[in-house]
Amino acid sequence: MSTLPIPLQWSLLAVATLLFTALFSAVALPGAVLLGPMVAAVILGVRGTTIELPRRSLWLAQALTGGVVARSLDASIIQDVALHWFPMLMALASMMAGAVLVGWLLERSGRLPVGTALWGTMPGAAPAMIAMAGDFGGDPRFVAVMQYLRVIVVVVLASLACHFLLGAPAGLPVAPAVPIPVATTASSLALVAVALLGGWLGTVLRLPAGPLLGPILLGGALNMSGSVTLDAPGWLIAIAFAIIGWTTGLRFRRDLLRDLLASVPVMLLSTFGLVALSVGSAWMLSALTGKDPLTAYLATSPGGLDSVTVVALGSAADVPFILTLQTLRLFGTILLSVLLVRVLRRG
Nearest to 315 by CA among 179, 180, 165, 174: 174
Residue 10: pLDDT over 90: yes
Q: How confident is the model at residue 172 (pLDDT cuts 50, 70, 90)?
A: very low
Residue 166: pLDDT over 90: no
Position with higher pLDDT, 158 vs 36: 36
The predicted pLDDT at position 336 comes to 79
Q: How far apart are CA 133 and CA 154, in angstroms?
A: 22
Query: Are 344 and 136 within 8 A, CB to CB?
Result: yes
- Residue 292 neighbours by CB distance under 10 Å: 19
Position with higher pLDDT, 346 vs 87: 87
CATH T-level topology, domain 6-346: Na+/H+ antiporter like fold (1.20.1530)
> If you average pLDDT over residues 319-343, what whole number do you get?
77
Any residues with CB less than 8 A from the CB of 107 and at least 6 apart, and which?
114, 115, 116, 117, 118
Mind giving me the DSSP string for 149-178?
HHHHHHHHHHHHIIIIIS---TT-PPPPSS
The predicted pLDDT at position 207 comes to 77
What SS3 state is found at 48? coil
Mind giving me the DSSP string for 223-281?
HHHTS------HHHHHHHHHHHHHHHHTT--HHHHHHTGGGHHHHHHHHHHHHHHHHHH
Query: Are 246 and 37 within 8 A, CB to CB?
Result: yes
285-to-86, 98, 262, 295, 296 alpha-carbon distances in Å: 10, 15, 36, 10, 6
Residue pLDDT, tens place only, 286-305: 998 888 888 888 889 887 77
> If you average pLDDT over residues 38-58, what whole number do you get?
87
Position with higher pLDDT, 164 vs 277: 277
Query: Are 180 and 52 within 8 A, CB to CB?
Result: no
Amino acid symbol at 6: I
> If you average pLDDT over residues 10-23, what whole number do you get?
93
Average pLDDT, the chain: 79
- Lowest mean pLDDT, pick from 179-188, 194-203, 233-242, 333-342: 179-188
Nearest to 240 by CA among 72, 57, 42, 73: 57
Q: How far apart are CA 146 and CA 118, in angstroms?
A: 10
Q: How confident is the model at residue 173 (pLDDT cuts 50, 70, 90)?
A: very low
> If you average pLDDT over residues 60-65, what whole number do you get?
87
